[in-house]
Amino acid sequence: MKILVIGSGGREHALVWKLRQSSRVSKVYCAPGNGGIADDAECLPADMKNLESLLALAHQVQPDLTIVGPELPLTLGVVDEFTRRGLRIFGPTKAAARLESSKSFAKEFLQRHRIPTAHYAICNSLDEIHHALPHFHMPVVVKADGLAAGKGVVICKSKDEASSVASEMLSGKMLGEAGSRVVLEECLQGDELSFLVVSDGERIAPLVAAQDHKRIGDGDTGPNTGGMGAYSTQTIVDDQMTNWLVQHVARPVVEGMKAEGAEYKGVLYCGLMMTARGPMVLEFNCRFGDPETQPILMRLESDLVEALEASIDGRVSDGDFRWSADASVCVVMSSGGYPGAFEVGKKVMGLEEAAKVEGVKVFHAGTNRRDGAYYTAGGRVLGVTARSAELATAVHRAYEAASKIGFEGAHYRKDIAARALKK
């Protein structure tokens, strides 16, 4: 079968890499792809903001299955349009993707369905911000309502800072339309957890859990990013907690969306904080996470195509996934200045040497290829990912490989999975 993957980042490279391992797959296309994906799939130009462009591409290549990587095409309704034309596509509809595209919708949905989450206030103006702030202890989290590529969340230490950040968001200066509405949220304490499931609208199959590292600097310092690294092990959550998260978070979401007329098919990413009060939902993503997909798929031993088709066809079961007991870790290498302004076009060196490290796969995120060489083309450039029976070994392998790669301004955190290793 022929498969089309929509997207251009490290998540999409990991999806392409895993899909190619299926005996059922004869050809993989990626639109628009990147320099590294071009080694594993045929990359085709596409505008992810333009549904007509994506439809024209699908009619051109006639894929048997399309998989959507990033959130934007989902929130624009790409699944609705493909399905209307009889094209098989994996992912939620535009209505279901509101869980990600609107944080205010998600918070109100959580409250309606009694799913645990932080206290919050939805604000449309600076006056509403000033009225709500006295009801929160500091620090407080200020979130842009719309899509902001992982950069629309700011933890503020004082009410003055929160007021200033919210004002910047509401004015459109910080994030454009994404900040036209703001959510104030209680700042929860604990360990973050990325818990993903695949749903067919009724049934649910959980993936192995992962932990993301969102801040740019070591020790969780600096601004939030799209994610600077992640790891996955058997010990992040035990079977009892996995079952609790399915029964008290994922299943109520799927059942609630169906009850509200927006059947949820695809991947549901539950971003959680494991607090002293129990697990609390921070956010939802309506697609595979990035960089969590990289370590998660490194541990997947069953056929990804089978699981995705089960979601589309309404036959998801607990047996859809088979996992390795190994640990895996992804270290993201970013451009200097990210998540702020950064330069592109820097030559990437050492990729061949890094690939020789045992158990390592380097997934490309923001690269392009010219004249046989790779150059930076985005904020997050590479996801150096390793697998081993022991987490410590996987971490060592990932950092050994990362140390062999160089480009001007390269930055990566040195403490991915460090807390887990201490435990």
pLDDT tens-digit series, residues 12-39: 999 999 999 999 999 999 999 999 999 9
Statement: residue 150 has pLDDT above 80:
no
Q: Confirm if 105 and 99 have CB atoms less than 8 A apart.
A: yes
Q: Confirm if 321 and 300 have CB atoms less than 8 A apart.
A: yes
Backbone angles phi, psi at 29, to 5 degrees: -110, 150
Taking residues 145-152, what's their average pLDDT?
Answer: 79
Give the pLDDT score at 250: 97
Q: Above pLDDT 70, what percent of the chain?
A: 99
Q: Confirm if 181 and 122 have CB atoms less than 8 A apart.
A: yes
Q: What is the CA radius of gyration of the chain?
A: 20
Give the pLDDT score at 407: 98
**Beta-bridge partner residues of 217:** 221
The tens digit of pLDDT for each residue in 346-356 reads: 999 999 999 99
CB atoms within 10 A of CB 259: 12
d(CA 336, CA 382): 13
Q: What is the DSSP letter of 64?
A: S
Q: Output the pTM of the full model.
A: 0.94
Backbone angles phi, psi at 411, to 5 degrees: -135, 140
Statement: residue 76 has pLDDT above 80:
yes
Give the pLDDT score at 320: 83
Helix axis angle, 304-313 to 10-19, nearest 10°: 100
Taking residues 98-121, what's their average pLDDT?
Answer: 96
Residue 422 half-sphere exposure toward CB, CA atoms < 13 A: 5
First to last CA, the chain: 44
Of 321, 294, 295, nearest to 306 (Cα)?
321
Q: With cut-offs at 50, 70 and 90, classify the pLDDT of residue 173.
A: confident
Instruction: Say how many residues make up the chain.
Output: 423
Cα 26 to Cα 59, 221, 274: the distances in Å are 18, 44, 42
Statement: residue 70 has pLDDT above 90:
yes
Q: With cut-offs at 50, 70 and 90, classify the pLDDT of residue 80.
A: very high
Statement: residue 374 has pLDDT above 90:
yes
Q: What is the mean pLDDT of the chain?
A: 95
The tens digit of pLDDT for each residue in 256-268 reads: 999 999 999 999 9
Give the pLDDT score at 178: 73
Cα 31 to Cα 67, 99, 105, 252, 292: the distances in Å are 11, 25, 30, 34, 21
Give the pLDDT score at 172: 80
Residue with tokens 């645990």: 116
Taking residues 151-157, what's their average pLDDT?
Answer: 88
The string of DSSP letters for 151-218 reads --EEEESSHHHHHHHHHHHHHTTTTGGGGSSEEEEE---SEEEEEEEEEESS-EEEPPPBEE--EEET
Give the pLDDT score at 171: 86
Statement: residue 177 has pLDDT above 80:
no
Taking residues 204-216, what's their average pLDDT?
Answer: 96
Of 4, 83, 88, 97, nearest to 42 (Cα)?
4
Output the six-digit token pair for 126. Answer: 């600076």
The tens digit of pLDDT for each residue in 212-251 reads: 999 999 999 999 899 999 999 999 999 999 999 999 999 9
The domains located in the chain, with CATH, are: 2-94 (3.40.50.20), 119-186 (3.30.1490.20), 191-320 (3.30.470.20), 327-422 (3.90.600.10)
